[in-house]
């Protein structure tokens, strides 16, 4: 029994479950919003502020958590993350004013960030040969588990908002608690999770101060800013983009599902392919293709080809999402497994700027230059960073 608990693939499964629990804060939010507005009388601006606080908390909590985990293991940060995940939903469910919601959902966001960085770096520490596939399995669940939660939450908040969020808080907290009990790191760098461990992993362990002095770090950072900005624009505005072309409401609803499912499928499919094709080559090709198909979506919409238009949006999501399984693997290879959590967590701060770009900036551009021009600019940004990724090379020792 003890040996089974040490199975790296079991650890991947538990990390994936915890990752899915963390992801609910982002992907279930749209289902919570209406009930929360009624519960505390929150305005649209207040609701937007809640989500902004979540994004910032989820991002900035990762670096200290990752740094601690690299030095002391995953148990304590995962315990803290479990408590914050549960407390965030419980506090939001019991809130009677928006200030309480800011604090509660922010706390939940911090918990989501802690759990995310522990979960996503678990396969990085255990795998070398199949690192892209293992990381893809974990990252897939960030949105994948929410598919099961959304119908429950959507129906529950309409009948009993408080009880629904208390139940979600208990479920997410328990999922992360399981991670705290089961997850562990290899005892030494060569204690790998596949048949081809890297005997030099310990010698190539560079902390964040070394990482930020390499040009590869900043190429990856710029890429993550663009990928997060365009991705959040795509996820958040796909339905409205379909509607502005005058397509039926059913097609707009389908667009949201297609984008979400394609996002998950790309993480696993192309993340796994990077193990065979090479990380840099896969990353550059995937992001570049994302830009090309996103650009192709615009004329398809203008010509009235609704199904093809939605298909192109789905393809853009499919080729965008693998960044989140390939980049953590690359960070482990470039800077070593022993400091992978802190280095990827620092890179992940790019999500703050991407969130600004995909939200405020994108909305402003839509108002000034229109939907088509805004999405074409997003396509150009993705194509540009995809070509930039083609310059990536391993960090010299």
CATH number at residue 339: 1.20.1250.20
> Are 241 and 362 contained in the same domain?
yes
Q: How far are the Cα atoms of 6, 48, 134, 171, 300 from residue 94, in angstroms, in the given order?
A: 39, 19, 38, 17, 46
Residue 39 lies in a domain: yes
- The total number of structural domains in the chain stands at 2
Write the pLDDT tens digit of every residue in 133-148: 888 889 888 877 877 7
> Are 105 and 20 contained in the same domain?
yes
> Are 338 and 231 contained in the same domain?
yes
> Are 270 and 175 contained in the same domain?
no
Identify the band that residue 251 occupies on the pLDDT scale cut at 50, 70 and 90: confident
Q: How many alpha carbons lie under 13 Å from residue 77 in its C-beta half-sphere? A: 31
Residue 187 lies in a domain: no
Write the pLDDT tens digit of every residue in 84-117: 999 999 999 999 999 999 999 999 999 999 999 9
Write the pLDDT tens digit of every residue in 278-312: 989 999 999 999 999 999 999 999 999 999 999 99
Write the pLDDT tens digit of every residue in 315-362: 999 999 899 889 988 888 888 877 877 888 899 899 888 878 877 788
> Are 11 and 85 contained in the same domain?
yes
Q: Is-above-0.85 flag for pTM? A: no
Alpha carbons 376 and 317: distance in angstroms, whole number: 15
Residue 395 lies in a domain: no
Helices then strands, counting H and E runs in the chain, come out as 20, 0
Residue 196 lies in a domain: no
> Are 175 and 115 contained in the same domain?
yes
Distance of CA 26 to the CA centre of its chain: 9
Alpha carbons 125 and 201: distance in angstroms, whole number: 10
pLDDT at 255: 82
> Are 211 and 256 contained in the same domain?
yes
Closest CA relative to residue 19, chosen from 151, 118, 167, 131: 118
The mean-pLDDT minimum among 54-68, 103-117, 147-161, 221-235 falls in: 147-161
> Are 102 and 145 contained in the same domain?
yes
Residue 394 lies in a domain: no
> Are 76 and 216 contained in the same domain?
no
Long-range Cβ pairs for the range 305-312 (8 Å, 24+): 306/242, 306/245, 306/247, 306/248, 306/251, 307/251, 309/242, 309/245, 309/247, 310/242, 310/251, 310/254, 310/255, 310/258, 311/258
> Are 75 and 12 contained in the same domain?
yes
Domain extent at residue 271: 206-389
> Are 269 and 380 contained in the same domain?
yes
Closest CA relative to residue 201, chosen from 308, 340, 66: 340
> Are 151 and 235 contained in the same domain?
no
Round the CA-based radius of gyration of the chain to a whole number and report it: 20
Closest CA relative to residue 132, chosen from 330, 393, 312: 330
């Amino acid at each position: 029994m003890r040996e089974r608990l040490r199975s790296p693939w079991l650890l991947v499964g538990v990390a994936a479950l915890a990752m899915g629990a963390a992801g609910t804060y982002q992907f279930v939010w749209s289902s919570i919003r209406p009930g929360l507005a009624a519960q505390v009388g929150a305005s649209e601006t207040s609701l937007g502020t809640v989500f902004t606080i979540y994004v910032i908390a989820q991002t900035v909590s990762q670096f200290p958590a990752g740094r601690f985990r690299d030095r002391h293991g995953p148990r304590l940060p995962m315990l803290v993350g479990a408590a914050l995940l549960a407390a965030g939903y419980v506090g939001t469910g019991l809130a009677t004013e928006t200030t309480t919601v800011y604090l509660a959902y922010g706390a939940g966001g911090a918990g989501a960030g802690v759990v995310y960085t522990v979960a996503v770096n678990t396969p990085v520490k255990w795998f070398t040969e199949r690192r892209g596939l293992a990381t893809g399995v974990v990252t897939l669940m960030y949105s994948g588990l929410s598919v099961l939660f959304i119908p429950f939450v959507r129906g529950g908040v309409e009948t009993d908002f408080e009880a629904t969020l208390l139940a979600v808080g208990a479920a997410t907290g328990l999922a992360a608690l399981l991670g705290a009990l089961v997850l562990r790191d290899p005892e030494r760098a060569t204690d790998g999770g596949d048949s081809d461990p890297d005997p030099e992993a310990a010698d190539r362990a560079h902390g964040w101060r070394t990482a930020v002095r390499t040009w590869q770090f900043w190429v990856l950072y710029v890429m993550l800013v663009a990928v997060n900005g365009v991705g959040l624009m795509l996820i958040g505005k796909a339905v409205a983009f379909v509607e502005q072309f005058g397509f039926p409401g059913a097609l707009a609803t389908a667009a949201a599902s297609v984008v979400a499912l394609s996002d998950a499928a790309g993480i696993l499919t192309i993340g796994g392919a990077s193990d065979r094709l090479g990380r840099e080559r896969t990353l550059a090709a995937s992001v570049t293709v994302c830009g090309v198909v996103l650009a192709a979506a615009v004329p398809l919409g203008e010509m009235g080809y609704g199904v093809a238009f939605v298909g192109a949006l789905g393809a853009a999501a499919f080729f965008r999402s693998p960044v989140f399984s390939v980049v953590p693997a690359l960070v482990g290879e470039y800077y070593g497994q022993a400091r992978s959590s802190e280095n990827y967590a620092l890179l992940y701060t790019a999500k703050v700027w991407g969130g600004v770009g995909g939200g405020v900036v994108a909305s402003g551009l839509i108002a000034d230059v229109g939907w088509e021009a805004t999405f074409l600019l997003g396509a150009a940004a993705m194509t540009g960073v995809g070509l930039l990724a083609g310059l990536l090379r391993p960090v010299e020792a």
